[in-house]
Chains A and B, each alone.
Chain A
Amino acid sequence: MSSLKKDSWGSRVGLILAMAGNAVGLGNFLRFPVQAVENGGGAFIIPYLVCFLLMGIPLLWIEWSTGRLGGKHGHHSTPFILDTMDKRKFWKYLGVFGIFTNIAVAAYYCYIESWTMAYVYHSIAGTFDSMKQSEVAAFFGSYIDIGHSTTGIPYEAIIFYILCLLLNTFILSRGLAGVEKAAKIGMPLLIIFGIFLAFKGLTLGTSGATAEHPDANAFEGLNFLWTPQYDSLTNPKVWLAAAGQIFFTLSVGMGTIQCYASYVRSKDDIALNAVSAGFMNEFVEVVLGSLIVIPIAAGYLGVDWLKENAGFGMAFQTMPYLFEQWGPALSVIAGVMWFGLLFFAGITSSLAMGTPWMGFMRDEFKWDQNKGAWSFGLITLIMGLPTVIYFQQGVFDEYDYWAGTVSLVVFALAETILFAWIFGMNKGWKEINQGGDIKIPSVYRFIIKWVTPLLLLFVFIGSLVTPLNNDWIGAIQNGWVLDNSSIIKQLTNAGLKEQIAAATDPAVIKTLEEKLHYSLIARFMLVALFAGISWLVYVAYQKRIKEGRIKL
């Protein structure tokens, strides 16, 4: 079919590190501890691990095996991988999610990645030296305000974003070998940096207590994170949060795993590879992720501060200040390690996001890896610039919600139903076990057919009709009122409209109306991207018919 040289993984360890790197992201260090704190402390680990075994591992096996199956037929992206499994035409258009999500997520994800690059620079340059905590927090605000420069470079947020995108594109242009090399460098460094910072977090104790924060104690932070509140286990909200965390941490429902696995030979194992990569992600999340931010923040600022401020923003708004307490030399090392760790977590994921587009364009239009990579970079730039320039107007959040959250759940649910119910468990089970280096317990046949789709349905319905204040028990007892975070309310921008109606200050009303306006622009861009990729799939399909590769 193709005269282009076929890509393949150089080694099995390289493949596992690339897959683990795809899964390990910023959320491992920033989202997991916050979710645990908000959902039952230590008891959160019980639903979390249950969901990992019943939903995470099965989804990994489904995606690895469908990817390898597609690769056997010369497909390296989900539109035609799904087409291999069932000939009904709509599957290939559903498979568009596996390219669309990656471009849309890469567009804003590279922006966060560029923050980590910029913060490595600022850590080395000593920007945070003798800054107060409030000044470090304010610095982040200045950085994302693109009209303001913290380095003297005009529009530095855009410059760092473009640099980050260029680096991603350059590595992608080296093909799978480039991705594998980046994973082989990035993942070990990420783990070494993580172990160093986790060691510091574990040994900080009460040494960070000051007159301002006399009760600061790192162990109290760990206590806060790990003390089990077993009564929380009866709350559906906690289970939904655990399922959601497993779902997002493993990068399932994106189409990247299928793409990576499509370069695995059909005789080679996927059963062991999938669990090995999955557990590597769990190690980074549960062990390293819980030993850095929470104990270090509690060690200097106390648990009371943590209770009020635990969140994603701590990475950039608090950590540089805390590292400054370690003295001039160690603060630079810790800053480089922390933001370097986040950078490696980010880039190993964003590189994965480029490969489905490249695979699709190569399979269907014979584009080589250079053309594929640079076109990915260009589309990502076009999609991503509004998230940088209009970050404060909510374009970033809009992308994150629709592409980075809703699309993943929809696609994972659809592919699980396709695999277990349409492709069928007989063929599916054979695919998973083919060439396996471990024997998968046969109970997983039942789990993949029944439990995983039901859990995904639970996550989807839970997001679609989230009850007011996420109070499930209250909603069941007193009637269902939708929360503004539910998909249905988000679709109508109900929250923003309520805020506009309640506001009296004309300046606030203007800001909110602007947000509403930009949210519609963001949605239009996402719909246009999806439609554009769908059109390419249609053209590719017609081309296949013309070339006699598909018999009608």
Chain B
Amino acid sequence: MNSSALTLMVVTMLTVTSITLYFFWLVLKTPPKQEPDSYVDNDDELR
């Protein structure tokens, strides 16, 4: 591979992979919001 193709490929793949992992890690580490009632019953649903 030529150096410009290799550089672009590696930089792009590392960037996309890192951001994907970072956001997914944020999702996993964020604690669920505490609610007084159960998750199944949407307490905020307007009926």
Contact = CB atoms under 8 A, between A and B. Distances in A.
A512 B39 CA distance: 57
Interface in B1-47: 1-2, 4-6, 8-9, 12-13, 16-17, 19-20, 23-24, 26-28, 30, 32-33, 35, 39-47
Contacts of B19: 279
The secondary-structure label for the interface of chain A is helix
Contact of B32 (A12, A42, A71, A286): A12
Contact of B30 (A73, A225, A272): A272
A142 B29 CA distance: 51
Nearest to B4: A228
B16 A42 contact: no
Between B1, B30, B39, B41, the greatest number of chain A beta carbons within 10 A of the residue's beta carbon is seen for B1
B20 A279 contact: yes
Contact of B16 (A223, A267, A276, A287): A287
B23 A283 contact: no
Interface string A58-75: 000000000000011110
Contact of A283 (B9, B17, B33, B42): B17
Interface string A38-61: 000110010001000000000000
A443 interface: no
Nearest to A48: B12
Contacts of A45: 8, 12
Contacts, number: 98
Interface residues of A, number: 41
A89 B45 CA distance: 23
Contacts of B41: 6
A265 B35 CA distance: 11
A407 interface: no
Given A42-B5, A228-B5, A286-B12, A71 B45 contact: yes
Contacts of A223: 1-2, 5
B1 to A, nearest CB: 5
Interface string A220-234: 101101111000000
Contacts of B6: 226
Given A283-B20, A286-B12, A435-B33, A266 B5 contact: no
B4 A16 contact: no
A217 to B, nearest CB: 10
Contacts of B17: 283, 287
A280 interface: yes
Contact of B40 (A6, A268, A269): A6
A349 interface: no
Given A6-B40, A42-B5, A223-B1, A273 B47 contact: no
Contacts of A219: 1
A265 B5 contact: no
Interface string A388-406: 0000000000000000000
A13 interface: yes
B44 A226 contact: no
Nearest to A227: B5
A16 B28 CA distance: 11
Given A226-B6, A268-B33, A74 B27 contact: no
Nearest to B22: A279
Interface string A86-99: 00000000000000
B46 A74 contact: yes
A72 B46 contact: yes
A166 to B, nearest CB: 29
A8 B42 contact: yes
A275 interface: yes
16 contacts: A8-B42, A72-B46, A73-B45, A74-B45, A74-B47, A226-B8, A265-B39, A265-B42, A276-B26, A279-B16, A279-B24, A283-B20, A286-B16, A287-B13, A287-B16, A290-B9
Q: Nearest 9 pairs between A and B by C-beta?
A: A226-B5, A276-B23, A279-B20, A283-B20, A227-B5, A42-B8, A226-B9, A266-B44, A223-B1
Interface of A: 1, 6, 8, 12-13, 16, 41-42, 45, 49, 71-74, 219-220, 222-223, 225-228, 265-269, 272-273, 275-276, 279-280, 282-283, 286-287, 290, 435, 437-438
Interface of B: 1-2, 4-6, 8-9, 12-13, 16-17, 19-20, 23-24, 26-28, 30, 32-33, 35, 39-47
Given A227-B2, A276-B24, 9 more contacts: A8-B39, A42-B8, A226-B1, A226-B5, A227-B5, A266-B44, A272-B26, A275-B23, A279-B16
